[in-house]
Amino acid sequence: MWDFKIGQALGLMLKTLPFVLFRLAVYFGVALAYVLMTGVGAGVGWGVGGLGDEGFRAASTFWGGVIGFGIVGAIIYILREYLLYMVKAGHIAVLVELMDGKPLPPGRGQIEHASTVVKARFAQASVLFGVDQLIKGVLRAIAGLARGIFRLLPIPGARQFLRLVEMFLRIAVGFIDEVILAYCIRTRSDNAWASSRDALVLYGQNAKPMLKNAAWLALIVYGLSFLVFLVMLAPAALVAYLIPGGWSATGVIVALLFAWSVKVAVLEPFAITCMMQAYFKAIEGQQPDPEWEAKLDGMSAKFRKLKLRATQTPTDDDTQGAEVAQ
């Protein structure tokens, strides 16, 4: 059915509990910032709305909330490299070491240890971000190949089915790119670009089982996320009541934010742990196939950029990591 062990994945998550709590603190903090700034913006808008009639007040409250929400969104966008570098890649690093049977320091020592491991593989956040963006681009190309195959199948209602396939493939890419980063960390290569290239070729060779596992995990993660959303509706309704001039959709938005924070803090690392199990099992004993490398070379400009970076000197990475992802 699937190639990962849920019990083992949960055990690994428990062993990295300090990192899970760190992720919860970060992402709940982000969700709380969204809620607070939206509330502040709505409050300011409500106050400004006192200068006009009820319609003007409702509009100014709404746009005040939107502006507050947008400010936090802009800040998170700016900090996305840091979140990837310190939070996601750090957690992957300690999970990889646990899967390889290596001991980890207790408590917050895990976070410091993870930072050291990540810095050893990726000198700067911009390098990791650049690698990650190229990986996502190549994975989208592989997903496009799978999408093209589905288009050729004579299936009744193929258009609707294809939309579902495309939605799933987008979700699958979100799980798999961090598994590729896990390969880079596990191989301890001093050339992250070259190890990413090899990892992507190995993924292409095993795309069918990997997509199968991603499908199961997408169902599990999004099913659990929906349950979390339902649980969050009650406290979210209270928050919505406290926001000045709150409108009916506020509670749903707040519940979505907190469900999102649980998803990225707990459910996604669980899914990535499962995908790491499946990936490392699938590629065991394999070498990158030159035919698959040539295929990726022909279908993805991002892969060609990745290969180019793999041949350049490591010192260039420090200044060109983010630039190459453009």
Report the predicted TM-score, pTM, of the whole model to 2 decimal places.
0.79
Task: Quote the distance between the C-alpha of residue 297 and its chain's center.
Answer: 25
| Helical pair 192-205 and 301-310, crossing angle rounded to 10 deg | 140
Q: What is the pLDDT along the chain (326 residues), one digit of tens a residue?
A: 788 999 999 999 999 988 899 888 888 888 888 888 888 888 888 888 888 887 788 888 888 888 988 998 888 888 776 777 778 888 888 999 899 888 877 766 888 888 888 887 776 666 777 787 788 778 777 766 666 655 555 555 556 666 666 666 666 667 787 888 889 888 888 888 888 889 989 988 898 888 888 888 888 888 998 998 888 887 777 766 666 555 556 677 778 888 888 888 899 899 999 999 999 999 998 999 999 889 888 888 888 888 888 887 555 444 444 444 44
The pLDDT value recorded for residue 211 is: 80
Query: In sequence order, which residues have a C-beta less than 8 Å from that of residue 99 and are 6 or more positions away?
Result: 12, 276, 277, 280
Q: Which among 200, 227, 208, 223 has a CA at the least distance from the CA of 271?
A: 223
The CA distances from residue 62 to 43, 68, 240, in Å, are: 10, 10, 13
Number of other CB atoms surrounding residue 101 within 10 Å: 6
| Helical pair 17-49 and 268-283, crossing angle rounded to 10 deg | 140
The pLDDT value recorded for residue 322 is: 43
SS3 of 26-81: the string is HHHHHHHHHHHHHHHHHHHHHHHHCCCCHHHHHHHHHHHHHHHHHHHHHHHHHCHH
Give the whole-angstrom CA distance, residue 265 versus residue 273.
13
Number of other CB atoms surrounding residue 208 within 10 Å: 10
The pLDDT value recorded for residue 297 is: 87
The pLDDT value recorded for residue 102 is: 84
Give the whole-angstrom CA distance, residue 254 versus residue 273.
28
The pLDDT value recorded for residue 190 is: 81
